[in-house]
Chain A
Amino acid sequence: MSIFEWSFVAAVLTSATPILFAALAGALCAQAGVFNIALEGQMLWGAFAAVAGSYYTGNAWAGVLVAVLSTAIYSVILAVGAARWKADPIIIAIGTNLLSLGLTGFLLRVLFDTSGSFAPQGLNGIGTMPFLNGIPVIGDVFAGQSVLVPLAFVLIVAAGLWLRLTPGGLRLRGVGEHPDAAATLGIGVARYQAWVTILGGGLCGLAGAQLSLGNVTLFTENMTAGRGWIAVAAVILVANKAFWLPVACLGFGAAEALGFRLQGIGAPQQLTDAAPYAITLVVLVIMRVVVTRRRTHALTPKETLV
C-alpha cells in the first residue's frame, strides 16, 4: 500500500469535492443565520436529477444544469418555510430529507423501472481535464478529475472574499449575527436568508452532480449515505469560516480514500465505511476542546467571523 503518491491525493480530492460544495452551502446559510441540515436530502435529489438530466439529454452538462436548477427550486421549501414563515428549519429539513429519499427511489422505479442502482449504457459523466496531463504534479492530481473539482475551490475562495470584502457579504453576515440591527438598517432579513438558502440549494445540486456524474457515472438509492451530515459537521467544525472548509472536507476525503486503500489490502469494508463518521466526530470533539481552551485565555470572548 503506497499512500504517498499523487493518485492518492487525487482520490482524496474526488472524495472531498461533493462534501465541499454542500459544506459551502451550509456555511453560507449559517452565516446568514439559517441552520441548514437539509443538505443531505438536497444533495441526494441533485445526484438523481443530474443522472436523469444527463440520461434524457445525452449531455452531462445539461444534467448538471438540471441538478442545480431543480435542487434550487427544491430548496424553496426550506427557504420560504424557515426564512419567511419562521417555521422550524430542523423539522422542515427532516421532512425534505425523507422526501428526497422516497422520491428518488420512487422515480427510479417509475421512470427507469429499476431499483437499487441505475447505470445505463452510454450515460455521460462530467468531462475530465486531460489537457493537464503533461504537467508534473498538477497533471497527476487533476487530469482525471471532473471540471467541478477545481470549481469547488474557486467557489470557496470567491465566497470567502465576497463575505469579507463586499457590502453584500457584510450585510449577509449582519443578517446572521444581529438580524434586528440589520433590519434597522433597512436590510430585508427574511429575503436575504431565503435567497442564500436557495443559492445553497444550487450548490447542493452541484454537490449531487459531482457525486453521481463526477465521482462515478451512476445513481444508487441513498447514494449520499450521510455525506450531507458530514458537511453539516464540517460547517460546525470550522465555525462557519468558509476559508477553512477545504481543510475539514479534505480530512474527510482522506479518511474515505484511505478506507478504499485499506479495503484493497483486505480490511473489512464495514469498518472502513464507518471510519469517516467516527473520525469526523472525534475531530469535532478535539477542535471544541482546543477552541474552548484558547477562548478562555483570549481577552475578547467572541471570535471574529470569517
Chain B
Amino acid sequence: MIARLTRHPAVVPIGAVVLAILIGAVVILLAGLNPIDAYAAVLQGSLDVRNLDYTFSVWGFICGMGLVAAIPLRMGEFNLGGNGQLVLGGVTAYVVASQLGLPGIIAVPFALIAAMLVSGGFAAVSAPLATRFGIPIIISTLLLSPVAVAVASYLVRFPLAEKGSGNAQTPVLPEDAHIWSLGDLRYTTVGLPLMVAVMVIFYVVDSRSAVGFELRVTGANRRFGEYAGLKPGRLAIGAMGSAGAVAGLVGAIIVLSSPYRFIDGALISPGYTFAGLAAALLAGGRPALVPVTAILFTILQVGGASMERTAEVPRQLSDVLQGVVIVILALRVVLDRRRAGAGKDS
C-alpha cells in the first residue's frame, strides 16, 4: 500500500516542493530570521480576501507564461526568451491601441491580436535558426530576448514617451482602449477568462489533435518522429509561434490593464517569465497541470512582498525557491533509477 502510494506520479513534484520549502526555511534561519513568520506572511499576503483580485490576475499571467515555456517543452525544446516576447507584445498592443484611433469595441481585440502576431512571429524565428543553422532554440531565444527588451525600452523612452514625465513610460491609453474589467474588480479583467480559454485550447490540442500527438512524439523521441515522417522543423515553427503568441497576449493584457500604459521594466520585473517556466517544469509540461503548479508560484510571487514587509525576509527568496525546485526536479531521475533498480531486485 505504502509502496503504491510512493509510486503515485504526484509524489515527485509535491516532494520537490516540500523539500524546496524546507531548504528555504533553512536559508531563512541561517539569515537569522523566522521561517514560520515568513511563510505565514506569504500565505496571508497572497490569500487574503482583499488581495484575491490581484492574486488571481497574477495567476493568469503566470499560467500564460507557463504555457510559453510548456508548449515548446512538449517537443523537448526550451524557450527562455519569454521576457522579450512579453515586452514586444506589450509595446505592440500599446502602439495599436493608442496610435490607430480605432473605435472602442475593436481597439482592444485588435491590440491583442496584433500583439499575438508580432510576438508569435518574433519567437518563431528561433525555429529556422535551429533547423537551418544549428543554433539551439534555448540559445537563440536567450540572445533575441535582450534585443527585444532593449528595442521596447528605447521606444518607450523616446518616440512613445510621455512628454514632461520623468519616468520612462508612455501616456495613459484612451478610455476606449482599456481592457474590460470583470465587474468592479480593479486588477482582474477579461484577460483572465482569455488566459483560461488559451489553456483549454492548449489542453485540447495537446491531448485530442494530431498536431498535439506529433508534438509529444517528437518530444519523446525525435529520431523516431522523423523516421515516422514527422517534420520537427515545421512543428518547431508552430510551437515557438504559438508560445510567442501567448507571451504577446500576456504582455498586451498587462499593458491594456490598470494603469493603462507601458512602463519600462514593469512587464519584466515581477518575474512572470521565470515563475511560469518553473511552473511548466514542475508540471512536466503537461497542460492540465500548469494551472495547478502556477498556483504555487503565484502565492510565492504575490506573497513575497508581504513577507518582505512583515517578516523582513527579502523577496528574492521567491527566486531562490524557484531555482531550488527546478534543481530538485532535475535530480529526481536518480530517485527514479534507484526505485527501478529496487523493483528489479524484488
Indicate whether A17 reaches chain B with its CB closer than 8 angstroms: no
Interface string of B311-334 (1 = CB under 8 A from A): 000101111111111111111111
Residues of B within 8 A of A88 (CB): 330, 333
Residues of A within 8 A of B142 (CB): 226, 229
Between A87, A102, A109, A274, the greatest number of chain B beta carbons within 10 A of the residue's beta carbon is seen for A102
Interface residues of B in 120-176 (CB under 8 A from A): 129, 132-136, 138-140, 142-144, 146-147, 149-151, 153-154, 157-158
Residue of A nearest to B334 (CB): A85
Residues of A within 8 A of B94 (CB): none
Interface string of A269-306 (1 = CB under 8 A from B): 01101100110110011001100000000000000000
Contact assessment for B330 and A87 in the assembled complex, using a CB-CB cutoff below 8 Å: yes
Contact assessment for B277 and A94 in the assembled complex, using a CB-CB cutoff below 8 Å: yes
Interface string of A70-109 (1 = CB under 8 A from B): 0000000100010001111011101111111111011011
Indicate whether A182 reaches chain B with its CB closer than 8 angstroms: no
A residues contacting the other copy or chain, number (CB 8 A): 46
Contact assessment for B154 and A268 in the assembled complex, using a CB-CB cutoff below 8 Å: yes
**Bound form: Cα–Cα A102–B323 in Å:** 8
> Contacting A289 at CB < 8 Å: which of B31, B133, B316, B334?
B133
Contact assessment for B157 and A109 in the assembled complex, using a CB-CB cutoff below 8 Å: no
Indicate whether A50 reaches chain B with its CB closer than 8 angstroms: no
Contact assessment for A273 and B320 in the assembled complex, using a CB-CB cutoff below 8 Å: no
Leading 10 A-B pairs by shortest Cβ distance: A102-B319, A99-B323, A95-B326, A274-B150, A105-B316, A95-B327, A98-B323, A102-B320, A109-B314, A91-B330
Residue of B nearest to A98 (CB): B323
Residues of B within 8 A of A225 (CB): 146
Indicate whether A232 reaches chain B with its CB closer than 8 angstroms: yes
Indicate whether B294 reaches chain A with its CB closer than 8 angstroms: no
**Bound form: Cα–Cα A95–B281 in Å:** 10
Interface residues of B (CB under 8 A from A): 27, 31-32, 78, 80, 129, 132-136, 138-140, 142-144, 146-147, 149-151, 153-154, 157-158, 274, 277-278, 281, 314, 316-334, 337
Residue of A nearest to B319 (CB): A102
Question: Could you pull out 21 A-B pairs where Cβ atoms are within 8 angstroms?
Answer: A37-B138, A81-B331, A85-B334, A88-B330, A91-B281, A92-B326, A94-B78, A95-B327, A97-B323, A98-B274, A98-B326, A99-B327, A100-B323, A229-B143, A236-B135, A274-B146, A274-B150, A277-B143, A280-B143, A281-B143, A288-B133
Residues of A within 8 A of B136 (CB): 236
**B33: shortest Cβ distance to chain A, in Å?**
8
**Bound form: Cα–Cα A281–B81 in Å:** 14
**B170: shortest Cβ distance to chain A, in Å?**
15
> Contacting A86 at CB < 8 Å: which of B143, B319, B333?
B333
Contact assessment for B147 and A274 in the assembled complex, using a CB-CB cutoff below 8 Å: yes
> Contacting B319 at CB < 8 Å: which of A37, A101, A285?
A101
DSSP class of B's interface residues: helix, strand, loop or mixed?
A: helix
Given contacts A268-B154, A285-B129, contact A81 B143 (CB under 8 A): no
Indicate whether A233 reaches chain B with its CB closer than 8 angstroms: yes
Indicate whether A265 reaches chain B with its CB closer than 8 angstroms: no
Contact assessment for B334 and A87 in the assembled complex, using a CB-CB cutoff below 8 Å: yes
Residues of B within 8 A of A94 (CB): 78, 80, 277, 281, 326
> Contacting A91 at CB < 8 Å: which of B129, B274, B318, B329?
B329
Residues of A within 8 A of B321 (CB): 102
DSSP class of A's interface residues: helix, strand, loop or mixed?
A: helix
Residues of B within 8 A of A281 (CB): 129, 135, 140, 143-144, 147
**Bound form: Cα–Cα A74–B314 in Å:** 22
Residues of A within 8 A of B332 (CB): 87
Contact assessment for A105 and B319 in the assembled complex, using a CB-CB cutoff below 8 Å: yes
Given contacts A90-B78, A94-B78, A98-B322, contact A105 B151 (CB under 8 A): no
**B34: shortest Cβ distance to chain A, in Å?**
13
Interface residues of A in 39-74 (CB under 8 A from B): none
Interface string of A163-204 (1 = CB under 8 A from B): 000000000000000000000000000000000000000000
Given contacts A37-B138, A273-B146, contact A85 B331 (CB under 8 A): yes
**B18: shortest Cβ distance to chain A, in Å?**
17
**B140: shortest Cβ distance to chain A, in Å?**
6
**Bound form: Cα–Cα A121–B277 in Å:** 39
> Contacting B146 at CB < 8 Å: which of A37, A81, A226, A233?
A226
Residues of B within 8 A of A108 (CB): 316
Residues of B within 8 A of A285 (CB): 129, 133, 135
Residue of B nearest to A225 (CB): B146
Contact assessment for A270 and B154 in the assembled complex, using a CB-CB cutoff below 8 Å: yes
Contact assessment for A85 and B316 in the assembled complex, using a CB-CB cutoff below 8 Å: no
Indicate whether A110 reaches chain B with its CB closer than 8 angstroms: yes
Residues of A within 8 A of B129 (CB): 281, 285
